[in-house]
Amino acid sequence: MPVSGTRGRRRTPAAAGKGRLTRRGRILAWSAGVASAAVLGVAGVGAWVYQDLDDNIRSADVDDKIGGDRPANLSPGSKNILVVGSDSRDGANAKYGKDLTTMQSDTLMVVHVPANREWATVVSFPRDSWVEIPACDKGDGDTSAPHHFKINEAFAIGGTGGEVAGAAACSIKTVEANTGLRIDHFMSVDFQGFKGMVDALDGIEVCPEQAIHSKKARLDLDAGCQTVRGEQALGYVRVRYGVGDGSDIGRIGRQQEFMNALAEKAQAKLTSPKSLYGFLQSGTKSLTTDPDLAGIRPLYSLASELKGIPSERLTFLTVPNYPREADVASDTANVVWQYPQATDLFTSLAKDREVDKKRLEADTKTPLYASSVHVQVLNGTAVQGLAGTVAEKLRESGVTVTGTGNAPQNTGATTVTYPAGLEKQAEALAARLPGGVRARPASDATAGVVTLVVGKDLDTGRIR
């Protein structure tokens, strides 16, 4: 199953057309694919093999590390599953990085399965997303301080002590804090296990349009179609620089296409007992999950739910984003999420509403940069210095704060008002605030700026 090494140019079979890509619904994205592909074949194997595979799956309890300050579950019956592609730097993975922490996440996504099981959405988070990392238990007796950095650092911070539970817990806290989504389950998929799955299928065909030579990914490929396996396959899904536009967004697309090809070849090839056993062994050995998913039976149940979803009702998205350089000229390495579209996406999933991908893409075609939002922050409470605190949080997010002060009177409710012509800027600001604050026009609003009056209800810790 050929996979194109660059997107939007050559229309190879695995990369051509939306109809082809929606066939990922058979196994639902590369992440869920590892779990569901590993369990769909279990029904046909003997009891001893079943137990063998069941014992491979590791369990990690994260509840005591996440804490109690979590988003509410707004849609009982739905599931949000955080999936982490773990590129750990110990053992066989050590050669892929130097001077790096032990635990590394290379891929991060949320699989949303609705209560009615009639559709599903998979949201990918670029690893270079500039977000606030909350305080996390590092697993070495220390706790990290809240700070802004790349989203994938959360896995490394929580995994300082070398335990997947801590790494997953910090990733969950970070995703919940920045999205408002309640994470119900997690899966950590180690890339070494992925490599074994590819080998059990005798490799996957890829078709890069240009030669790829990357010391960092330990990859040397000529242009043209060829089958990759082992270290080459691992390098192909990891490679970033020197391929396409060199962005993490491009890599996400290549990973999804590669895993789609993996899933399709698995379905076609796993009639051989030898291939089946090798594939299942590698797949289950690569998995660490929360206790409720740690076993063949719960994973089989999940896979059964996913495979019943029509392919046209599966949506694969990347969080709307733009280069942070647009807000901070010196930062050429990271991306920031685009508001209000990112909040709209997360709110839809939190309330179990199906996302209209075409509309989302249309709305995000021309991003509104945070730096173009000019706001004055007024304190509408008796808490001294609150306007300054909120202003600093907004500045950290790239918003341009023109000034701070006290509101004419105290208020219980936070408000966002704007003069004519600044509706979009006001909506973008309101989307960064918790509690569903809505922007409204005001005839007496200060010209040229959006006005934020901070009320008693504002949870400053949840400003995005």
**pLDDT tens track, the chain, 464 positions:** 565 543 333 333 333 333 333 344 443 444 444 444 444 444 445 566 677 888 888 999 998 899 888 999 999 999 999 999 876 544 444 444 444 445 778 789 999 999 999 999 999 999 899 999 999 999 888 999 999 999 999 999 999 988 999 999 999 999 999 999 999 999 998 877 778 888 888 899 988 888 888 877 788 888 899 999 988 888 888 787 657 666 666 677 777 778 778 877 776 766 677 777 788 888 888 889 999 999 888 887 887 787 778 878 888 899 999 999 999 999 999 999 999 999 999 999 999 999 999 999 999 999 999 999 999 999 999 999 999 999 999 999 999 999 999 999 999 999 999 999 999 999 999 999 998 999 999 999 999 999 999 999 999 988 99
CA distances to 19, 44, 45, 113, 336 from 315, rounded to whole Å, are 12, 30, 32, 11, 22
Looking at residue 96, what is its pLDDT? 42
Distances (CA, A) of 133 to 144, 156, 216, 464: 9, 11, 26, 11
- The answer for 48, left when phi > 0, alpha when psi is -120 to 50, beta otherwise, is alpha
Query: What pLDDT does 332 receive?
Result: 93
Q: How far apart are CA 118 and CA 288, in angstroms?
A: 27
Query: Which tokens hold the place of 22?
Result: 């929606």
Strand pairing category for 219-221 and 212-214: antiparallel
Q: Which helix (H) or strand (E) holds 314?
A: strand 314-318
- Alpha-carbon distances of 384 from 2, 381, 389, 401, rounded to whole Å: 62, 8, 10, 18
pTM, whole model, 2 decimals? 0.83
Helix (H) or strand (E) holding 174: helix 164-179
Element (H, E) at 347: helix 341-350
